[in-house]
């Protein structure tokens, strides 16, 4: 199996195992697993869970390497408002929000779509927001080797909304900066541009 593959196929063995597990979950919560509305739910849920964790078997470094181009541009490149959906590893409930990513090229630029693809690969795993932020940061830093890279993620966690502390409006912000973004002026320029409608 190529490590750089888009999600196309469900692994039959894994689907069967998950179906069995989801049937047991339905029974455990008191559902009649033969009821029309839920009779196919174990299979649907099995496929959904495989999709939501499909980043586990993808190589984000290879995604970046597949579209790196030699280019002399060495100013800031910002891709902001990249929507992301992930699952928290503590409750397996979604957290979702936006990633804002910037890098300063060092001889190579990367195909723009590859940055959101890298976000998806790391988001489609059981995660915590802090690790997701650093995974993206280190991947871009180590593979593209830019002069600097910055990642900011703003997200809401369903485990804090639907249950537990039940706070509907809290947003968690995490960030990471490498290279030139460790300098306060560069970091501030990035933060200003992602909070502006003109960036």
Ligand X SMILES: Nc1nc2c(ncn2[C@@H]2O[C@H](COP(=O)(O)OP(=O)(O)OP(=O)(O)O)[C@@H](O)[C@H]2O)c(=O)[nH]1
Active site residues: 88-91, 129, 157, 159
Place of tokens 């190529």: 2
Give the residue, chosen from 47, 80, 91, 131, that forms a contact with Zn ion under the rule CB under 5 A: 91
DSSP-derived secondary structure for 126-186: EE-HHHHHHHHHHHHHHHH--SEEEEEEEEEEHHHHTSTT--SS--EEEEEEEEGGGSHHH
Choose from Zn ion, ligand X, none: what does 32 bind? Cβ within 5-8 Å by kind.
none
Judge contact between 63 and 4, C-beta under 8 A. yes
Residue, CB closest to ligand X: 164
Taking the complex as a whole, the smallest distance from the CB of residue 132 to Zn ion amounts, in Å, to 13
Minimum distance, C-beta of residue 82 to ligand X, in the bound complex (Å):
17
Contact 60, 125 (CB under 8 A): no
Q: Which of 35, 40, 90, 192 binds Zn ion (CB under 5 A)?
A: 90
Asked if residue 91 belongs to a known ligand binding site, the reply is: yes
User: Binding residues for ligand X, per CB under 6 A?
Assistant: 88, 90, 128-130, 157, 159-160, 164-165
Show Cβ contacts of residue 175 under 8 Å, excluding neighbours closer than 6 positions: 133, 150, 151, 152, 153
Residue 80 binding partner per list ligand X, Zn ion, none, with a CB distance cut-off of 5 to 8 Å that depends on partner kind: none
Q: Which of residues 107-166 bind Zn ion (CB under 5 A)?
A: 159
Maximum separation of any 2 CA atoms in the chain, in Å: 63
Residues interacting with Zn ion, by CB under 5 A? 88, 90-91, 159
């Amino acid at each position: 199996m190529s490590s750089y593959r888009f999600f196309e196929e469900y692994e039959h063995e894994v689907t069967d195992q998950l179906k069995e597990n989801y049937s047991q979950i339905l029974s455990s919560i008191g559902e009649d697993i033969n009821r029309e509305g839920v009779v196919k739910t174990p299979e649907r849920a099995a496929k959904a869970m495989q999709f939501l964790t499909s980043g586990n078997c993808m190589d984000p470094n290879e995604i970046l390497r597949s579209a790196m181009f030699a280019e002399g541009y060495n100013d800031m490149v910002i891709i902001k408002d990249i929507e992301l959906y992930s699952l928290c590893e503590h409750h397996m409930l979604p957290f979702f929000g936006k990633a804002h990513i910037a890098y300063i090229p060092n001889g190579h630029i990367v195909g723009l779509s590859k940055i959101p693809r890298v976000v998806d690969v790391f988001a489609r795993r059981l995660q915590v927001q802090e690790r997701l932020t650093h995974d993206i940061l280190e991947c871009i830093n180590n593979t593209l080797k830019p002069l600097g890279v910055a990642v900011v993620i703003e997200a809401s966690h369903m485990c804090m909304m639907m249950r537990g502390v039940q706070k509907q409006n809290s947003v968690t912000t995490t960030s990471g900066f490498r290279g030139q973004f460790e300098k306060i002026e560069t970091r501030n320029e990035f933060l200003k541009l992602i909070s502006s409608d003109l960036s």
